[in-house]
Chain A
């Protein structure tokens, strides 16, 4: 399906509802065959952005290009997109096969052909032989799959998924995440997926777009956004983080010195002397042993901890600040224990704003 690989380009897209700005002047390019996840809390503009891509919401300004064509003024039906809706929006009065074949019927494919294709699509989403059932005979997970089959049946260049897994239980959600990725590789189509679940975003995305208040805060591969977030918000929203306020005091040898309540920390990113910044360290980046090149942060007292299977999640206090750290499962911590903390310069992330 090399034909199905198109690209998306959003230029200067904004959407205002009266006084409120749902989306502020946003640019986004999506490569062919890319799995992009729009991640953010509610009200961050991620669903608005998806709706603008699908043609359900008209942008207040800016242009939408799909596959080299300006589709800004085209209705959803005339765009090479298909949407999987949050509430699935299946046709309750039709059989499963008729649901899946609906888009093909609208494209005037003859009945035998479209039912055959519907059956193929159902097989692809793991619902072989479900064609003759009614929609209300299906479980939530099965409905989700039907909605998916119905959308991919029309061979969309871009598949839009609006919190598609929000209504499923955790185990099923994990399973569907893997299946979505497999399906996307198999079809070679571009997927744009909206979620507020950062774990979901990390596990499925080629690229995560972190949004807040109608703006893109950060975007990049999940590992990059997790390890080197570009903004304070992204650092907080993607996984747990320990943040310290600080002030830049100098630069030397390609390193920036920042004074914080845990002392002077060396960071690799550049910054102006005198700048007020935050530095961030992930729980797993707080170390209890002095390795080569590690900087001492001081002695932390363990307040409480919980067992997480692969590790202990430890709350500790350091210089009056509450921190979260990880201790290997083989070395159970003790409440009240005082341990020295260290961090590598390469791990410390400097954040502006």
Chain B
């Protein structure tokens, strides 16, 4: 039976207006940030005076910003690597070992997700103080491992189902030892998931301000520098820096989506 062509009524119109308004609400701030990064003038406020790339040029030649960008890449890259690695090990052991306290351990591992970054940052500050670790990029990196580990664990754990367990069983049956099972079967089989976990952790670290602010001192990450610059007033240069940060996040999110999509595809077919 074919449905009769639907006539649009006022409710559809209202729904459409609602969607447009919601989208505006979500994207207007980002849109204006990006638009005024191209402002040909000194103030990132209307009216828009025509496009220019001079502020991007300025950002790329700002040593402080570029150093901070590099610091962010370093902290994000390494802390995400550690978080993904530890998350994988935790997920693998909790998914595969019939351990009495597995459920409890899982809850415990996930708990930091519910704690605010401010509290985690303060806790780490006190702990590092007691341990004699200075505020530094290393401290920030450790902080980012703390917030990203639960997330990486959850993502990887969700992909370690009974079908995967059977695949590992088959490898063992054919003579693989535990080390070979993990390195030849489990990790390669989960490759898209591991990359996705890594990149999600990276974007969170990349944006993160509170912990980075509380735990760094001389070398700082990009969000901290931008915050510092904001205090001395608005400038299209900051818009340009923000646009770059945003663009890199978006690129990573797209990469994750692509990876997950390919992963799903191979799960469906495989």
B266 lies within 8 A of A154 (CB): no
A92 lies within 8 A of B270 (CB): yes
How far is B100's CA from A186's CA once the two chains are assembled, in angstroms? Answer: 47
B172 lies within 8 A of A76 (CB): yes
Which residues of B172-188 are within 8 A (CB) of A?
Answer: 172-177, 180, 185, 188
Write the nearest CB–CB distance from B161 to chain A, whole angstroms: 11
How far is B169's CA from A81's CA once the two chains are assembled, in angstroms? Answer: 13
A93 lies within 8 A of B172 (CB): no
Task: Judge whether A103 is part of the interface by a CB distance below 8 angstroms.
Answer: yes
| Chain B residue with the shortest CB-CB distance to A143 | B270
How far is B76's CA from A125's CA once the two chains are assembled, in angstroms? Answer: 50
Interface size class on chain B is 20 to 34
A90-B167, A93-B191 as given contacts; A107 in contact with B266, CB under 8 Å: no
B270 lies within 8 A of A54 (CB): no
Which of these, B171, B191, B267, contacts A91 with CB under 8 Å? B171
How far is B267's CA from A135's CA once the two chains are assembled, in angstroms? Answer: 11
Which of these, A54, A56, A107, A137, contacts B175 with CB under 8 Å? A107
Task: Judge whether A150 is part of the interface by a CB distance below 8 angstroms.
Answer: yes
| Chain B residue with the shortest CB-CB distance to A135 | B270
Which residues of A79-114 are within 8 A (CB) of B?
Answer: 81-83, 85, 87, 89-93, 102-103, 106-107
Which residues of A123-156 are within 8 A (CB) of B?
Answer: 135-137, 150, 154
Write the nearest CB–CB distance from A137 to chain B, whole angstroms: 8
Which residues of A261-305 are within 8 A (CB) of B?
Answer: none
B174 lies within 8 A of A154 (CB): yes
Number of chain A residues whose Cβ lies closer than 8 Å to a Cβ of chain B: 25
What sequence of 0s and 1s flags, for each residue 155-175 of chain B, a beta carbon within 8 Å of any chain A beta carbon? 000000001001101111111
Measured between beta carbons, the chain B residues less than 8 angstroms from A102 are 171, 174, 176
A135-B270, A136-B266, A136-B269 as given contacts; A92 in contact with B174, CB under 8 Å: no
| Chain B residue with the shortest CB-CB distance to A153 | B174
| Chain A residue with the shortest CB-CB distance to B162 | A87
Write the nearest CB–CB distance from A236 to chain B, whole angstroms: 32
Measured between beta carbons, the chain B residues less than 8 angstroms from A87 are 163, 166
How far is B189's CA from A56's CA once the two chains are assembled, in angstroms? Answer: 22
A87-B163, A136-B266 as given contacts; A93 in contact with B174, CB under 8 Å: no
| Chain A residue with the shortest CB-CB distance to B168 | A89
How far is B263's CA from A136's CA once the two chains are assembled, in angstroms? Answer: 12
A85 lies within 8 A of B166 (CB): yes
A106-B175, A106-B180, A154-B175 as given contacts; A91 in contact with B189, CB under 8 Å: yes
Which of these, A54, A90, A107, A137, contacts B173 with CB under 8 Å? A54
Most buried by B among A55, A75, A106: A106
Measured between beta carbons, the chain B residues less than 8 angstroms from A92 are 167, 189, 266-267, 270
Measured between beta carbons, the chain A residues less than 8 angstroms from B172 are 75-77
Which of these, B174, B189, B270, contacts A106 with CB under 8 Å? B174
A77 lies within 8 A of B175 (CB): yes
Write the nearest CB–CB distance from B32 to chain A, whole angstroms: 45
B269 lies within 8 A of A89 (CB): no
B174 lies within 8 A of A150 (CB): yes
Most buried by A among B169, B171, B172, B270: B270
How far is B174's CA from A150's CA once the two chains are assembled, in angstroms? Answer: 9
A93-B189, A135-B270 as given contacts; A56 in contact with B174, CB under 8 Å: no
Measured between beta carbons, the chain B residues less than 8 angstroms from A107 are 175
What sequence of 0s and 1s flags, for each residue 230-270 of chain B, a beta carbon within 8 Å of any chain A beta carbon? 00000000000000000000000000000000000011011
Write the nearest CB–CB distance from B89 to chain A, whole angstroms: 20
How far is B166's CA from A85's CA once the two chains are assembled, in angstroms? Answer: 8
Write the nearest CB–CB distance from A337 to chain B, whole angstroms: 45
A103 lies within 8 A of B175 (CB): yes
How far is B269's CA from A76's CA once the two chains are assembled, in angstroms? Answer: 28
| Chain A residue with the shortest CB-CB distance to B169 | A56
| Chain B residue with the shortest CB-CB distance to A154 | B174
B171 lies within 8 A of A82 (CB): no
Measured between beta carbons, the chain B residues less than 8 angstroms from A85 are 166, 169-170
A91 lies within 8 A of B180 (CB): no
A106 lies within 8 A of B176 (CB): yes
Measured between beta carbons, the chain A residues less than 8 angstroms from B270 are 90, 92, 135-136
Most buried by A among B174, B175, B185: B174
Measured between beta carbons, the chain A residues less than 8 angstroms from B188 are 93
Write the nearest CB–CB distance from A153 to chain B, whole angstroms: 8
Measured between beta carbons, the chain B residues less than 8 angstroms from A135 are 270
Measured between beta carbons, the chain A residues less than 8 angstroms from B163 are 87, 89
What sequence of 0s and 1s flags, for each residue 56-81 of chain A, a beta carbon within 8 Å of any chain B beta carbon? 10000000000000000001110001
Q: Would you list 30 pairs from A and B whose C-beta atoms are within 8 A, ordered by A residue?
A: A54-B173, A76-B169, A76-B173, A77-B172, A77-B174, A77-B177, A81-B173, A82-B174, A83-B170, A85-B166, A85-B169, A85-B170, A89-B167, A89-B169, A89-B170, A90-B170, A91-B170, A91-B171, A91-B189, A92-B167, A92-B189, A93-B188, A93-B191, A106-B175, A106-B180, A107-B175, A135-B270, A136-B269, A150-B170, A150-B174
A-side interface residues toward B, CB under 8 Å? 54-56, 75-77, 81-83, 85, 87, 89-93, 102-103, 106-107, 135-137, 150, 154
B-side interface residues toward A, CB under 8 Å? 163, 166-167, 169-177, 180, 185, 188-189, 191, 266-267, 269-270
17 further A-B pairs in the complex, CB-CB below 8 A; given A76-B173, A89-B167, A92-B167: A54-B173, A55-B173, A75-B172, A77-B172, A77-B173, A83-B170, A83-B173, A87-B163, A87-B166, A90-B167, A91-B167, A91-B185, A92-B266, A93-B191, A102-B176, A136-B266, A154-B175
The 4 closest A-B pairs by CB, nearest first: A106-B175, A103-B174, A136-B269, A89-B170
